[in-house]
């Protein structure tokens, strides 16, 4: 009986099924509380929904704000294309399309258990791998995000977990086909969520360093992987160059994101308007066009940062807190809130942060050979959002890896017996066997 229970507890299929059920139940339970008239429109009232509608009607990748404003590179193409396919099948802005999109997100989120399990198994053994997957199955953001955001966070979480698993695998497998598939995975990831590109130099560099010290590094597979990645990006880059006459390999919206978190409304001494409306920004975008609009935002954001260094440093720090705890002032919000659910989320975020720090410390203390590719997820991936602006949605791509670090923190006492603890990047590399939310008025 004990053996059978252990088999069930470590069954990736069971964990996947539970994770999927929890996400689907949340979707249907929340959707029942929303009038159908709102459910069919409100979740798609964003850039993804607007571009997807244009694609579904044969008008191309354009009309960012559901107006004839011309082509856009504001978004990476993969997720809008998926929503466009749903619109073609179920109709644009319909209740059926919402359920299809939310259930698709739920499937992506639950599927993240699979690469997470195999990455965790390689890093620290089956008990920690299974614990990480169970944590991901009940992770609040993992359950809520497929319903709350008809956007790419759930798919990004799956791809981020897959990138970690693939990185660990390819480091010790030198076949040409494996490197080609690795380049393909990176191409798909960058065309879904370009922010994942922050991980690329560190994960690729770790593979090269590991193979170099093991004397297994070969130039041909590496070049093939790079070539496959470039081939994936090339059609979209060429399209953007033709439309906008500049180099845009994935998406163009960073100047706006930088400005939205760094502008005059954060300066209490400024005489500028202290409110920014969506209507105002959409009107300006339509008037200037995307290139001029983003150029204007870049100039204003960089000027603000240059002239307000102390305030920018303060905003940077507040965004670090908001990335990890969900809000800029968690303790005050915890005391002010009369919602048990909100308080639970704040407590969960705090324990997640503590678990991540403890997990990183345990991996480092155990000289785990896979510390670097795991550590770059919490340490490097959020940097872009500290610089611009942030929310739990932006951090969500690395949440499965955070669950893995929480599992390491909980079961770290068994880390040494479940994984190779020699630090092969320093010793015996050939013996390796075992990563202020903008105040816009909507």
pLDDT in tens, the chain (442 residues): 777 788 888 899 999 999 999 999 999 999 999 999 999 999 999 999 999 999 999 999 999 998 888 999 999 999 999 999 999 999 999 999 999 999 999 999 999 999 999 999 999 999 999 999 999 999 999 999 999 999 999 999 999 999 999 999 998 877 899 999 999 999 999 999 999 999 999 999 999 999 988 888 888 999 999 999 999 999 999 999 999 999 999 999 999 999 999 998 888 777 766 677 888 899 999 999 999 999 999 999 999 999 999 999 999 999 999 999 999 999 999 999 889 999 999 999 999 999 999 999 999 999 999 999 999 999 999 999 999 999 889 999 999 999 999 999 999 755 644 343 333 332 333 332 332 333 333 3
Distances from the Cα of 162 to the Cα of 112, 122, 214, angstroms: 7, 13, 24
Distance of alpha carbon 10 from its chain centroid, rounded? 26
Return d(Cα 291, Cα 245) in angstroms, integer.
Answer: 9
Tell me which residue has tokens 């069954």.
11
> What range does the domain containing 376 cover?
2-441
Degrees (nearest 5) of the Cα angle 175, 180, 181?
Answer: 100
- Coil, helix or strand at residue 367: coil
What pLDDT, on the 0 to 100 scale, is given for residue 238?
97
Return d(Cα 137, Cα 112) in angstroms, integer.
Answer: 9
Return d(Cα 70, Cα 292) in angstroms, integer.
Answer: 13
Distance of alpha carbon 325 from its chain centroid, rounded? 16
Structurally, how many domains does the chain consist of? 1
Return d(Cα 80, Cα 96) in angstroms, integer.
Answer: 17
């Amino acid at each position: 009986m004990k053996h059978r229970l252990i088999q069930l507890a470590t069954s990736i299929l069971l964990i996947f099924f539970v994770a999927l059920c929890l996400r689907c139940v949340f979707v249907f339970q929340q959707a029942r509380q929303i009038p159908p008239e709102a459910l069919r429109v409100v979740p798609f009232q964003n850039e993804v929904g607007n571009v997807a509608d244009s694609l579904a009607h044969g008008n191309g990748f354009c009309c960012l704000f559901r107006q004839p404003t011309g082509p856009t590179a504001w978004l990476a193409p993969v997720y809008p294309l998926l929503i466009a396919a749903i619109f073609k099948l179920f109709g644009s802005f319909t209740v059926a399309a919402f359920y299809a999109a939310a259930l698709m997100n739920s499937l992506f989120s639950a599927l993240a258990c699979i690469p997470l399990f195999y990455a965790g198994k390689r890093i620290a053994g089956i008990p920690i791998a299974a614990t990480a997957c169970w944590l991901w199955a009940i992770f609040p953001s993992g359950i809520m995000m497929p319903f709350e955001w008809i956007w790419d966070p759930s798919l990004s979480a799956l791809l981020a977990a897959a990138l970690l698993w693939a990185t660990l695998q390819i480091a010790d497998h030198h076949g040409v086909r494996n490197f080609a598939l690795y380049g393909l995975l990176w191409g798909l990831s960058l065309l879904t969520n370009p922010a994942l590109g922050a991980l690329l130099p560190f994960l690729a560099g770790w593979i090269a360093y590991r193979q170099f010290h093991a004397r297994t590094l070969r130039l041909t597979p590496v070049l093939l992987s790079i070539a496959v990645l470039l081939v994936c990006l090339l059609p979209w880059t060429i399209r953007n160059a033709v439309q906008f006459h500049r180099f845009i390999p994935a998406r163009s919206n960073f100047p706006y994101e930088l400005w939205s978190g760094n502008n005059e409304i954060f300066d209490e001494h400024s005489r500028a308007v202290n409110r920014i409306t969506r209507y105002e920004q959409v009107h300006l975008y339509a008037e200037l066009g995307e290139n001029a609009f983003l150029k204007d935002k870049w100039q204003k954001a960089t000027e603000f940062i240059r002239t307000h260094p102390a305030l920018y440093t303060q905003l940077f720090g507040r965004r670090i807190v908001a990335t990890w705890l969900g809000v800029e002032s968690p303790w005050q919000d915890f005391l002010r809130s009369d919602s048990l659910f909100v308080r639970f989320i704040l407590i969960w975020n705090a324990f997640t942060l503590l678990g991540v720090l403890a997990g990183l410390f345990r991996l480092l203390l155990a000289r785990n050979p896979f510390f670097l590719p795991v550590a770059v997820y919490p340490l490097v991936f959020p940097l872009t959002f500290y610089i611009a602006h942030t929310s739990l949605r932006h951090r969500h791509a690395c949440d499965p890896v955070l669950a893995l670090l929480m599992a390491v923190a909980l079961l770290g006492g068994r880390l040494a017996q479940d994984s190779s603890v020699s630090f092969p990047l320093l010793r015996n590399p050939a013996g390796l066997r075992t990563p202020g939310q903008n105040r816009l008025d909507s």
